[in-house]
Amino acid sequence: DTGVSQDPRHKITKRGQNVTFRCDPISEHNRLYWYRQTLGQGPEFLTYFQNEAQLEKSRLLSDRFSAERPKGSFSTLEIQRTEQGDSAMYLCASSWTRDRETQYFGPGTRLLVL
Alpha carbon distance 48, 56 (integer Å): 6
Q: List binders of another protein among 47-86 (CB under 8 A).
A: 48, 55-56, 58
| 100 contributes a contact to another protein by CB under 8 A | yes
Among 13, 20, 80, 107, binds another protein (CB under 8 A): 107
| 41 contributes a contact to another protein by CB under 8 A | yes
| 89 contributes a contact to another protein by CB under 8 A | yes
| CA-based torsion, 102, 69, 35, 108: positive or negative | positive
* Closest listed residue to residue 89, CA positions, set 8, 4, 3, 16: 8
Reduce the DSSP state of residue 31 to 3 states and report it: strand
| 2 contributes a contact to another protein by CB under 8 A | no
What is the CA angle 16-21-27, rounded to 5?
165
Interface with another protein by CB under 8 A: which residues? 4, 31, 33, 35, 40-45, 48, 55-56, 58, 89, 91-93, 95, 97, 100-108, 110
